[in-house]
Amino acid sequence: MNIIVCIKQVPETTEVKINPETNTLIREGVKSIINPFDMYAIEEGVRLKEKFGGKTTVITMGPPQAEIALKEAISMGIDEGILICDKAFAGSDTWATSYTLSSAIKKIGQFDLILCGKQASDGDTAQVGPGISAHLDIPQVTYVKKIEEVRSNSLRVERMMEEGYEIIETPLPALLTVVKEINEPRIPSLKGMLRARSAKIITWTQKELDLEVTAIGLSGSPTQVVKIFTPPPRIGGQMLTGEPREIAEKLVDLLKQEVT
Amino acid sequence: MDYLLSEEQKMIKDLAHRIAEEKIRPQAAKYDQSEEYPWEVIKVIAESDLFGLFVPQEYGGMGTSVLNLCLATEEFSRACGGIAVCYAASALGTFPIVLFGNEEQKKKYLPDLAKGKVVAAFAITEPEAGSDASAIKTTAKKQGKHYILNGLKHFITNGGDAQTYVVIAMTDKTKGARGASAFIVEKGTPGFTFGKKEDKFGIRASSTRELIFTDCKVPEENLLVIEGLVFIVTMKTFDMSRPGVAAQALGIAQGALELAVKYAKERQQFGRSISSFQGIQWMLADMATEVEAARALVYSTARMVDAGVKDVAKESAMSKMYASDVAMKVAVDALQIFGGYGYMRDYPVEKYVRDAKITQIYEGTNQIQRNIIALQLIKEMAK
């Protein structure tokens, strides 16, 4: 079973800061990590390989330092890492990103399964995984919490719903996005870390993927971010003190004022 | 302080740190209370390859380096001295095989120990033979192609849970300490059973148990080296393992110090955090300095062992003695900084006091360590 895991490097903090002029993330001074949901995709890929054999490849689109994320995936047991890196890819929305990643997957060639985290913790769109499957014209199952059965040409999975779960069978190749209930990502082994240290990361640019400049990056992105802003913090409430009766009276007065 | 660790050593430290924070610390109180053997955590450590740190590469390990072992033990101990000793005691039981085992013995036992599939234990102590190893009563009588073991070992760390035991027994009583030999005994060997499991003050996640030998038939090929070499086997083993006990003490001290600093910053009295009081600041400063001095001594000794320096008995004893005395003092001071809360078991700091105490006692009491140091000093002067 050949598996491709798509991952994204994200800022560690949950309080993402945005540059108001460019409407992009401020990455300086913030530690980068693998998107937490992608860790489950990596773990599931490694577990499937350990059980059924085959090759696992991890890919990411990002700046040169995203190589660290690929190496971390290798330390957890992934075989190979591919970095899709070019200034031409900058400013990609989810459409251009999924198009670029799907082109890289086509270049990899033969695969049975693509695994993604359900969404990235910075953008929270949950669109790139499904987008890849659309560009590749393969089935997708989102929010997978368990792979129940693996057959030679199909999979049976449990899909997390708001109430309960669905059981879905899909032919292979397919794309799954996974939720955190699917597994517990492992701590890398020392041998894995040593292997990752010396692993050669393959880098593909716009040229290697043979993509039209108009189809990628900012110009290939139909979504244009008009404005990103931090909502103003909530103004603190007012505390009323005194005896219950007094407080009730004060409250009624305040509400009356509010209405008028 | 920067100890100029290699990239690989930093990797080991970071990996052990991560295991300690994610898998050990959240479980420490549970195992301290239940006194169960922490198999769940041992499995995580095994999967991380860190059991390989005391086994040569040709037997499936990561190469033997005492410093690497110390780095891992220190990090584990920061989070729980009890779980860390399960790990370190396996190293202690493995060292005699690494140092003195023949090819067959190494091939048979080391790969599983390196993978952490099984853990090891070293059995020398008896009810009447603690610091005085020449008083060992357990006997091993040669009978055909076997040795017949009879006797009782007690206070054996990993006892009952380990699979591989290195057991010291008398093959020739008339020769005293020089009549003792070391045997590899596997759990499950007929005649080898387990007795009382101790209810301990500290390091409660680790098992400490009696080993009972009743006409236990051990194949002659399980003898380590030759008869009567125990003195050398134990001395060389302890030279390798004492920095590990020192690292355990160091980790406990570091862990207690971190708790104390954090608490001192949080705890408000007289309208400000107690860390703003000079009385507390001076305590923290002394604690931190002593921890750093202990670390410098432990790492330097470990580096000497790794470099193959022949006689490390003095430095090995110094690092074990000093680091464990520091651990005890720092843990007690940390508890003091926590005040009344520190005395309560709802807070983690009292466990550090309990875990620290044993490091002054086992693997040679600190009084015995001082004997070793003094003897070396006098010997050196006589040269």
Can you give the pLDDT at residue A15?
65
Q: Greatest CA span in chain B, whole angstroms?
A: 79
* Percent residues over pLDDT 90 in chain A: 73
Phi, psi of A8, rounded to the nearest 5 degrees: -135, 140
pLDDT at A13 over 90: no
pLDDT in tens, chain B (383 residues): 999 999 999 999 999 999 999 999 999 999 999 999 999 999 999 999 999 999 999 999 999 899 999 999 999 999 999 999 999 999 999 999 999 999 999 999 999 999 999 999 999 999 998 777 778 999 999 999 999 999 999 999 999 999 999 999 999 988 887 889 999 999 999 999 999 999 999 999 999 999 999 999 999 999 998 998 888 888 888 888 899 999 999 999 999 999 999 999 999 999 999 999 999 999 999 999 999 999 999 999 999 999 999 889 999 999 999 999 999 999 999 999 999 999 999 999 999 999 999 999 998 899 999 999 999 999 999 97
CATH classification at residue A165: 3.40.50.620
pLDDT for residue A219: 87
Highest mean pLDDT out of A14-28, A118-132, A133-147: A133-147
Residue B23 lies in a domain: yes
Nearest CB partner across the interface for A190, out of B22, B44, B62: B62
| DSSP per-residue letters across A57-124 | EEEEES-GGGHHHHHHHHHTT--EEEEE--GGGTT--HHHHHHHHHHHHHHH---SEEEEESS-TTT-
- The mean-pLDDT minimum among A50-64, A113-127, B248-262 falls in A113-127
- Whether the per-residue pLDDT at A228 is higher than 90: the answer is no
pLDDT above 90: residue A76: yes
A193 touches chain B (CB under 8 A): yes
Question: Taking the model in full, what pTM does it have?
Answer: 0.88
Q: Which domain holds residue A16?
A: 3-215
Residue A132 scores a pLDDT above 80:
yes
Is residue B247 domain-shared with residue B377, that is, in the same domain? yes
CA distances in angstroms from B101 to B58, B220, B228, B320, listed in the order given:
14, 13, 15, 26
Contacts of A194 in chain B (CB under 8 A): 8, 11
Question: Each residue of A158-185: pLDDT tens digit?
Answer: 999 988 999 999 999 999 999 999 999 9
pLDDT of residue A233: 78
What's the pLDDT at B135? Answer: 87
Name the burial class of residue B196, with classes exposed (0-12), middle (13-18) and buried (19+) by CB atoms within 10 angstroms of its CB. exposed
Question: Could you tell me which chain A residue has the CA closest to the CA of B41?
Answer: A187
Q: Are B85 and B128 in the same domain? A: no
Residue B184 is part of a domain; what is its CATH number? 2.40.110.10
Sign of the dihedral through C-alpha B275, B279, B282, B283 = negative
Same domain, B41 and B14: yes
pLDDT above 80 (res A229): no
Q: Is pLDDT above 70 for A40?
A: yes
Please report which confidence band the pLDDT of residue A61 belongs to, taking 50, 70 and 90 as the band edges: very high
pLDDT for B224: 94
Q: What sign does the CA torsion over B70, B74, B80, B82 have? A: positive
Q: Do residues B32 and B26 touch, judged by C-beta distance below 8 A?
A: no
Domain boundary among B195, B228, B261: B228
Q: How many CB atoms sit inside 10 A of residue B107's CB?
A: 13
Q: Say if residue B262 is in the same domain as residue B358.
A: yes
**Residue B363 bears catalytic tag:** yes
Question: Which of chain A's residues have a Cβ under 8 Å away from the Cβ of B44?
Answer: 187
Give yes or no: residues B96 and B170 share one domain. no
Instruction: List the one residue out of A70, A92, A79, A56 whose CA is nearest residue A8.
Output: A70
pLDDT the model gives residue A18: 76
Judge contact between B251 and B81, C-beta under 8 A: yes
- Please confirm whether the linkage preceding A173 is cis (ω < 30° from 0): yes
**How many A×B Cβ pairs under 8 Å?**
30
The pLDDT of residue A145 is 97
Is the CB of A190 less than 8 angstroms away from the CB of B52? yes
Domain count for chain A, please give it: 1
B50 closest CB neighbour out of A186, A190, A194: A190
What is d(CA B80, CA A67) in angstroms, rounded to the nearest whole number?
Answer: 34
B57, B63 contact by CB (below 8 A): yes
- Give the pLDDT band (50/70/90) at residue A34: very high
How many structural domains is chain B composed of?
A: 3
Q: Which residues on B lie below 8 Å from A187 (Cβ)?
A: 15, 18-19, 22-23, 44, 47-48
Q: Are residues B378 and B265 in the same domain?
A: yes
Q: Tell me the pLDDT of chain A averaged across its residues.
A: 91
CA angle centred on B333, ends B332 and B337, rounded to 5°: 120
Q: Would you say residue B261 lies in a domain?
A: yes
Burial of residue B377 (number of CB atoms within 10 Å: 0-12, 13-18, 19+): exposed
The CATH number that applies at residue B66 is: 1.10.540.10
Residue-level pLDDT at A14: 66
Domain that holds residue B208: 121-228
Q: Which residues of A touch B22 (CB under 8 A)?
A: 187
